[in-house]
Amino acid sequence: MSEAETTWTRRKLVFRIAKATFITAIVGAVFLILWFFTSTFSAVYPQYPTSFAIFAWATLFFTFTTTLSEGTIYKYVFTIMRAFFLIAYFAYATNFGSISFSIEELNLTIEFLPILALVILANLLDMARGLLQAIEFASQSPKD
pLDDT at 122 over 60: yes
Instruction: Tell me if 17 is assigned to some domain.
Output: yes
* Number of domains into which the chain is organized: 1
Q: Is residue 144 part of a domain?
A: no
Confidence of residue 99 (pLDDT cuts 50, 70, 90): confident
Rounded to 5 degrees, φ, ψ at 106 are -105, 120
Structural contact between residues 78 and 65, judged by C-beta atoms closer than 8 angstroms? yes
Q: Which residue has better confidence, 28 or 109?
A: 28
Residue 95 covered by a domain: yes
Residue 144, pLDDT > 60, answer: no
Cβ-contact 74, 132 below 8 angstroms: no
Domain range holding 104? Answer: 3-139
Residue 6 has pLDDT above 80, yes or no: no
Percent of all residues in the chain with a pLDDT value above 90, rounded to a whole number: 67
- pLDDT value at 71 more than 70: yes
Question: What's the Cα-to-Cα distance from 129 to each of 23, 73, 80, 125, 136, rounded to whole Å?
Answer: 23, 13, 9, 6, 10
Q: Please tell me the predicted confidence (pLDDT) of residue 98.
A: 87
Regarding predicted confidence, which is higher, 141 or 51? Answer: 51
Mean pLDDT score of the chain: 91
Percentage of the chain modeled with pLDDT above 70: 94
pTM attached to this predicted model: 0.86
Q: What span, in angstroms and rounded, lies between the C-alpha atoms of 65 and 75? A: 7
Q: Is residue 118 part of a domain?
A: yes
